[in-house]
Structure 1
Amino acid sequence: MSVSLARVPTASASRYLQQLAKHWSHKMVVTFSPEEGTIDFPNGSRLEMRADSETLDVALTVPAGEDVERMRGVVASHLDRFAFREAPLTFDWREG
């Protein structure tokens, strides 16, 4: 199991969190509020997000045998779609 963490600077963190959660809610198990969200992927990965006024903190847990870089890319590219006015967002991925 691998955990990747990123702190994404944006003043629109809550909006992006909610948009991503709603977008994936028809395919995956999703819970969210304006400040926090969790998305469980079919491959066993889990994305946890926390929004404040300046950043979106993301924690991506990927099970052994799954492609960590691909999952990071999926999360980043989807968030960039919602953040098209300020994309690309800066993801400072690091191991958790």
Structure 2
Amino acid sequence: MSVSIARVSTASASRYLQQLAKHWSHKMKVSYSEQEGRIAFSNGSLLEMRADSETLDVLLTVPDGEDVAQMRDVVARHLNRFAFREAPLTFDWRAGGAAI
């Protein structure tokens, strides 16, 4: 398993979290509230998000054998699509191990 963490600065974190969760809810197992979201991908990857008034914290867990860079890109591209007014958002991905 590879764990990637990013803290994205945006005052619209809750809105983007909810839009992404709703967007993927017809394809994947999704649970979310205004502050937290969890999306399970069919390849075994897991996206967890937490929103506050200034940031969106993103934790992406990718199983061994899957392309970490591609999964990071999928998440960033989709969030940027919803954040078109302020895109591109800055994703400073780093390896991590702690849950958000």
In the superposition, the TM-score normalised over structure 2's length comes to 0.96
Shift of 1:83: 0.1
Measured in 2, the distance between the counterparts of 1:54 and 1:92 equals 16
For residues 37-92 of structure 1, what are the alpha-carbon distances to aligned partners after superposition, in whole Å with 9 as ceiling and x for unaligned?
A: 00000000000000000000000000000000000000000000000000000001
Shift of 1:34: 0.2
**Within 5 Å, which residues of 2 pair with 1:40-59?**
40-59=40-59
What percent of counterpart residues are identical?
80
The DSSP-based 3-state class of the residue aligned with 2:70 is: helix
The DSSP-based 3-state class of the residue aligned with 1:23 is: helix
The DSSP-based 3-state class of the residue aligned with 1:78 is: helix
| Divergent runs of 4+, >6 A | none
In the superposition, the TM-score normalised over structure 1's length comes to 1.00
The residue identity in structure 2 corresponding to 1:44 is G
The DSSP-based 3-state class of the residue aligned with 1:15 is: helix
Gap runs ≥5 in structure 1? none
Cα RMSD after superposing both structures: 0.2
**Within 5 Å, which residues of 2 pair with 1:48-87?**
48-87=48-87
The residue identity in structure 1 corresponding to 2:3 is V
Measured in 1, the distance between the counterparts of 2:19 and 2:34 equals 10
- Count of aligned pairs: 96
Gap runs ≥5 in structure 2? none
Measured in 2, the distance between the counterparts of 1:87 and 1:42 equals 27
The residue identity in structure 1 corresponding to 2:52 is D
The residue identity in structure 2 corresponding to 1:30 is V
Measured in 2, the distance between the counterparts of 1:28 and 1:3 equals 20
